[in-house]
Homo-oligomer: A and B are copies of this chain.
Amino acid sequence: MEKKVGEQYLFDFYGELLTDKQKQILEYYYDDDYSLAEIAEVMAVTRQGIFDVIKRSKAMMEAYEEKLGLIAKFLKSQILLEEIEKELLDCVDREKDEQLKSELMLVIEKLKNVSEEN
């Protein structure tokens, strides 16, 4: 089973919507990077059982993303926020007024909190 780019996002955004058992298995898989065999041992289930849970969980989370599009929105926001940050940094570089310069730098710091909030 291959971990594709973006699967970690699925788990980050929609993990809370899984059952406790699914969540536990996916935590081992994504956050702790356990192999299927290792998870099977810890959970005392067959490797095939773990495979099935992960497959079903992924399908569930993909269905949620299809409906809510949280990851797509998040990525779009991040790109916009990065552009804004870059443009503000560019303004800071050319700002002659020291007071305005430091205020703009504080704004840039605040902007990072927006990124993290998303």
Chain A residues close to B by CB (< 8 Å): 14, 16-17, 64, 67-68, 70, 73, 76-77, 80-81, 83-84, 87-88, 90-91, 94-97, 100, 103-104, 106-107, 110-111, 113-114, 117-118
Contacts and interface: CB of A to CB of B under 8 A. Distances in A.
Contacts of A87: 103, 106-107, 110
B96 A84 contact: no
A68 B114 contact: no
How many protomers of this protein does the assembly include? 2
A114 B17 contact: no
A107 to B, nearest CB: 5
Given A16-B68, A80-B114, 6 more contacts: A17-B67, A73-B118, A77-B117, A84-B114, A87-B106, A95-B100
B80 A103 contact: no
B73 A70 contact: no
Q: Which 6 A-B pairs have the closest CB atoms?
A: A16-B67, A77-B117, A80-B114, A84-B110, A87-B107, A76-B117
A12 B117 CA distance: 19
A96 B96 CA distance: 9
Question: Which of A84, A87, A103 gathers most chain B CB within 10 Å?
Answer: A84
